[in-house]
Chain A
Amino acid sequence: MKAFTQLDGLVCPIDRANVDTDAIIPKQFLKSIKRSGFGPYLFDEWRYTDHGEPGMDCSKRPLKKDFVLNQSRYKGAQILLARDNFGCGSSREHAPWAIEDYGFQVVIAPSFADIFFGNCYKNGILPIVASAAIVDQLFRECAAQKGYRLRVDLETQTVRNPAGEWFEFDITPHRKHCLLNGLDEIALTLQYADEIRAFEARHKAAQPWLFA
């Protein structure tokens, strides 16, 4: 996994609550057996006026000009600013794959759906929970200033706006360690293979029917 340490990035706002993973990446793109290439189809139904299908050349597709990703001021954005319950619905990891493939590395919202939140960390994306008041402020500042950027620092767990104001965010030490170092979580877990085997033996003795 790619490591995340810090980022000074352009912010793109998606100003609606309950953005679900069907909206982030519609079902027809889930037929791919690959992990990459989802970026051009991120928010497909909100982004293009035609119906998208896997394999289409998106550079020639007609755009919904009002949608934020299609506005020139947000071109190259790396921080997605969102509202409550971002990433709800389907567990599809294709959603963070699409977000990452597009170029986003950070998503800031007042709350996230649990499965999406966990999936972000597995893909080098940092999901940041900020209070509703802070998120409101960021939305206002982002609307008011073209080229609005935020500085995100994982080591100090801080986000800083252009005026130098900053807020702190929470992350578990385990997730922080994995993200900072870009660790392969499976390799990390397999360090405890003996403990897993010992647990399994006890579990099997107590409930043999689970292993039938």
Chain B
Amino acid sequence: MAGKTLYDKLWESHVVREEADGTCLLYIDRHLMHEVTSPQAFEGMRLAGRKPWRNTSIVANPDHNTPTDHWDEGIKDSISRLQVETLDANIKDFGALVYFPFKHANQGIIHVIGPEQGTTLPGMTVVCGDSHTSTHGAFGALAHGIGTSEVEHVLATQTLVAKRSKRMLIKVEGKLGAGVTAKDIALAIIGRIGTAGGTGHAIEFGGAAIRDLSMEGRMTLCNMAIEGGARAGVVAPDAKTVEYLQGRPYAPKGADWDKAVAYWETLKSDADAVFDTVIELDAARIEPQVTWGTSPEQVLPIGGRVPNPADEADPQKRGGIERALQYMGLAADTPLADIKLDKVFIGSCTNSRIEDLRAAAAVAKGRKKAANVQQVLVVPGSGIVKRQAEAEGLDKVFIAAGFEWREPGCSMCLAMNADRLEPGERCASTSNRNFEGRQGAGGRTHLVSPAMAAAAAIAGHFVDIRKF
């Protein structure tokens, strides 16, 4: 009998019951919540007179609607304020293990604070009404986004009704070149498999280049599994995982710690495990990536040119390229390095951790943003990231370069607060989605790594970070 994949081990250790058709009740260990996808779930609980099954599984904080400046003035948009206050009230009524309200010193993006607090652990099932829950797979947890009805289901039953996914292994062997990051691996993978390439699958990321990534890098990579269509991405825990978690507020302590670490060491795919799909990439051949279109799969290495629809034989794809170029205001065959920017956004659950800010600051140090770039937002992922960056003087580097140093939150990744693009504005962004209107109606998004974003802010156009 073939061995088991890590995904199978995580799945099987959480099955409460299984129907004949393979539909399972899956036990959920950790339930992350934010203000946008939870109010209707709590309302449903109230209407049915239900109590939460285990409120100590809940880790919550507002992040999507919260402003990133003038915190003293509160949330000016009354609809946003009501949504944040609704989360406050719901957590007060239903309870939680961890809740950081707006302006709490540790508040931040839910996918940054979960790991930071040690509430995401290897071997767990982690869900949240948010597709970027895949981030937590970096710890060897089975983590994925769910809808609001499922949020209510987890609140009421501590389980999800689910079927096992197919297994995909993405193996990245070799060493990344200088200036090439986890973000570039993620974009290169999506460019290869497409945004639907991982549909129906859970992806395990393996190989030397993945093992070489820091925990921050692994979170960036797993975060974008969903942009490749896979609800969950996972990396087997190792010494780096253990080192990251040790001493975190909610990580196990004492004898539990030793027992936990021993268990976590078993969380890896067996040597003879069989995957439904295996994709291999050579890390040395991955270059810094820039998206040119309105889907994350519309991506090329920085040395490339905007595609010409005339070169595409498939009429569906040709139509997609034409629509994307029209929306993006780009001419076919334009070198990516000639594309000029209006704004730059460094932040989001993909790239707002300390390592990301260090990479951006290293590029910005002693330089100034280009005159044609109107605004560069640097938005840390949490209060803890913010204080760490300030302790290292990164805030001063950014401010000296003409960048804006903001309070933590989701910010211009999805523009639910005041941080947004105006119609026609072009942005280099470290976030995860370049969809039409994602960063503001009519806004044009190019996804890049933090170092590439900072370099674009300085140069005023995209540049190859390796030559910068």
Q: What residues of chain A have their CB less than 8 Å away from a CB belonging to chain B?
A: 16-18, 20, 22-23, 26-28, 30-35, 45, 51, 54-55, 83-85, 88-93, 96, 111-115, 118-119, 122-123, 172-175, 185-186, 189-190, 192-193, 195-196, 199-200, 203, 207-212
Contacts and interface: CB of A to CB of B under 8 A. Distances in A.
A195 B79 CA distance: 41
A114 B79 contact: no
B327 to A, nearest CB: 10
A212 B250 contact: yes
B196 A113 contact: yes
Given A199-B16, A200-B27, A90 B131 contact: yes
Given A91-B146, A185-B161, A26 B316 contact: no
B83 interface: yes
A113 B441 contact: no
Contacts of B382: none
How big is the B interface, by class?
35 or more
- The secondary-structure label for the interface of chain B is loop
A17 B231 CA distance: 19
Contacts of B251: 209
A84 B83 CA distance: 33
B433 interface: yes
The 7 closest A-B pairs by CB, nearest first: A209-B252, A122-B149, A119-B147, A33-B39, A93-B147, A91-B145, A85-B196
Given A26-B437, A174-B21, A199-B27, A115 B158 contact: no
A186 B25 contact: no
A97 B272 CA distance: 44
A55 B78 CA distance: 12
Contacts of A192: 16-17, 25
Interface string B426-448: 00000001011110010000000
Contacts, number: 192
A16 B146 contact: no
Contacts of A211: 56
A31 B229 contact: no
Task: Name the residue in A27, A30, A55, A118 with the highest tally of chain B Cβ atoms < 10 Å from its Cβ.
Answer: A27
Interface string B237-266: 000000000000011100011011001000
Contacts of A92: 36-37, 147
Task: Name the residue in B147, B158, B200 with the highest tally of chain A Cβ atoms < 10 Å from its Cβ.
Answer: B147
A209 B438 CA distance: 39
Contacts of B441: 26, 45, 51
Interface in B115-161: 121, 123-124, 129-131, 144-150, 152-153, 156-159, 161
Contacts of B435: 20, 22-23, 89
A85 to B, nearest CB: 4
Given A173-B21, A174-B23, A88 B195 contact: yes
